[in-house]
Chains A and B, each alone.
Chain A
Amino acid sequence: MFSQRKFYTPYTSPTDPCPPIEVKSYETPPQLYLGFQPPCLPQYASAKEALHRGTLWPALYSPYESPYKRGDTGE
């Protein structure tokens, strides 16, 4: 299924000096998948919401929170 974030589990050593982050993530926002934008994609209902999101099209919206605050489970 499409997701804007991918996870991987790097090797962790029993002697790592910092407490290991077992699951690491990186962002894969929508422009990596959209190709040439098709015509007539649905737009946000109001100009105000589009301004807040930074794009007219939900298909291009990429939410972001700090991985250190959002509590990743790595599913």
Chain B
Amino acid sequence: MWYYEKKLQYPVRVRECNPRLAKFLIEQYGGADGELAAALRYLNQRYSIPDKVIGLLTDIGTEEFAHLEMIATMVYKLTKDATPEQMKEAGLGAHYVNHDNALFYENASGTPWTASYIQAKGDPIADIYEDIAAEEKARATYQWIINMSDDPELNDGLKYLREREVVHSQRFREAAEILKEERGKKVFF
């Protein structure tokens, strides 16, 4: 079970109403390498992986939900007072027709989130290597969003999230080392 702490992992500040940036950020909300995909991937894989790395998947999967909440807050702040006209100008006209200014789990081009974004192969090495790749792809996505954003306060939050991808990748790489280690194997003479 989970306990909920009613605050963000890192403060989110947004300088201006900018629905165009929200359209890009939604990639990290409901995209293939986004936070929702990450959380669900790790929290699902943990059932069928060696005991030593279950806790890591639980911890990181939980943190991804904290990141999801930060992205949601950013998208919400960027769009909450945008008029239908502003939404249309930002390329969110179709989104507005479907959802008004509500958030939705979709990627930057409006494709809804799908479980086929995540994998559970059941092979511990395959799954952990997928997780490492997912963290690097999320890190790269943050970089490309930062490259397109002129909002220094929003970028501060995005740089924090990018750094967390770096740390998670490090921990998954350590998990791969734990799974590879030779000490636990049977010794034959």
Binding site for B on A (CB under 8 A): 27, 29-31, 34-37, 51-55, 60-68
B137 at the interface (CB under 8 A from A): no
> B interface, by DSSP: helix, strand, loop or mixed?
helix
| CA distance in complex: A72, B160 (Å) | 22
Contact of B170 among A31, A65, A67 (CB under 8 A): A31
Q: Which residues of B contact A55 (CB under 8 A)?
A: 163, 166-167
Closest 8 CB pairs of A and B: A54-B163, A31-B170, A66-B147, A54-B160, A31-B169, A62-B166, A29-B166, A36-B177
| CA distance in complex: A34, B147 (Å) | 27
Q: Which residues of A contact B142 (CB under 8 A)?
A: 64
| CA distance in complex: A54, B173 (Å) | 18
B139 at the interface (CB under 8 A from A): yes
Interface size class of B (residues with CB under 8 A): 20 to 34
Binding site for A on B (CB under 8 A): 10, 139-140, 142-143, 146-147, 159-164, 166-167, 169-170, 173-174, 177
Chain B residue with Cβ nearest A51? B10
| CA distance in complex: A35, B174 (Å) | 7
Most buried by B among A34, A53, A54: A54
Q: Which residues of A contact B146 (CB under 8 A)?
A: 64-66
Known contacts A66-B146, A66-B147; A61/B170 CB under 8 A: no
Q: Are B166 and A30 in contact (CB under 8 A)?
A: yes
Q: Are A54 and B177 in contact (CB under 8 A)?
A: no
Known contacts A36-B177, A60-B170; A53/B163 CB under 8 A: yes
Chain B residue with Cβ nearest A59? B170
Known contacts A37-B170, A37-B174; A54/B164 CB under 8 A: yes
